[in-house]
A and B are shown apart, each in its own frame.
Chain A
Amino acid sequence: MRIIVCFKQVPDTSARLRVEPGSLEPHRAGLLPVVNPYDEFALEEALRLRDSGHEAEIILLTLVTEPVDESLFHGLAMGADRAIVLRLPAGTASAPLVTTRILAAEIEPLRPDLIFCGERAVDDDAAQVGPGLAEMLNLPQICGAERAEVDETGRMIRARCRRPSAGEVFTSDLPCLVSFVRGESLPRYPSLDDVFNAGDKPVETREITPADAEPPQRVALLAPRETRAGRTIEGEPEDAVEQLLSDPDGMVSFL
Chain B
Amino acid sequence: MAWSRSSEAGPERPVMVPVELHQASVTRSSLETLGQATLLAQELETSVLAVVLGPETSTVASTVTQQGAQRLLFCPSDSGATVGAGGFAELLAEVAERFRPSGILMAATPWGQERAARLATRLHLGLASSVTAWNLGEDGKLEVSRPVYGGRLVEQVEFDRQEIPFLTLRPGLFPVAEGLGNGRAETVKLDLPPTTARTASLVETILRSENERPLAEASVVVSGGAGMGGPEGFRVLEELAEAVGAAVGASRAAVDSGWTEPERQVGQTGTVVSPDLYIACGISGAVQHRAGIRTSRFIVAINIDPQAPIFRFADVGIVGDLFQVVPALTAELKQRRVHT
Contact = CB atoms under 8 A, between A and B. Distances in A.
B201 interface: yes
A135 B205 contact: no
A195 to B, nearest CB: 22
Contacts of B155: 218, 220-222
Q: Chain B binding site: helix, strand, loop or mixed by DSSP?
A: mixed
B129 A126 contact: yes
A141 interface: yes
Interface residues of A, number: 93
B211 to A, nearest CB: 13
A140 B84 contact: yes
A130 B143 CA distance: 25
Interface residues of B, number: 97
Nearest to A10: B149
Interface stretch (A59-67, A76-84, A170-178): A170-178
A136 interface: yes
Contacts of A219: 143, 156-158
A216 to B, nearest CB: 4
A164 B199 CA distance: 21
A161 B206 CA distance: 10
Contacts of B143: 219
B311 A141 contact: no
Contacts of A26: 149, 153
B313 A216 contact: no
A244 B279 CA distance: 12
Nearest to B141: A219
Interface string B279-314: 000000011100000100111100000100001111
Interface in A113-134: 122-132, 134
Q: Chain A binding site: helix, strand, loop or mixed by DSSP?
A: mixed
Interface in A237-253: 237-238, 240-242, 244-245, 247, 250-251, 253
A16 B269 CA distance: 16
B55 interface: no
B279 to A, nearest CB: 8
Given A127-B113, A166-B206, A251-B300, A245 B332 contact: yes
A222 to B, nearest CB: 5
Contacts, number: 285
B256 interface: yes
B118 A170 contact: no
A19 to B, nearest CB: 6
B117 A130 contact: yes
Interface string A42-56: 000000000000000
Contact of A244 (B207, B318, B336): B318
A233 B114 contact: no
Contacts of B306: 232, 234
A38 B214 CA distance: 21
Given A13-B288, A14-B286, A165-B208, A173 B117 contact: no
Nearest to A18: B153
Nearest to A40: B269
A44 to B, nearest CB: 13
Contacts of B311: 230, 232
10 contacts: A17-B152, A26-B149, A168-B202, A215-B159, A216-B144, A220-B155, A228-B315, A232-B311, A233-B317, A253-B298
Interface of B: 22, 84-86, 89, 109-111, 113-115, 117-118, 120-122, 124, 126-130, 143-144, 146-160, 163, 165, 197-208, 214-217, 219-220, 244, 255-256, 262-263, 265, 268-270, 276-277, 286-288, 294, 297-300, 306, 311-321, 324-325, 328-329, 332-333, 336
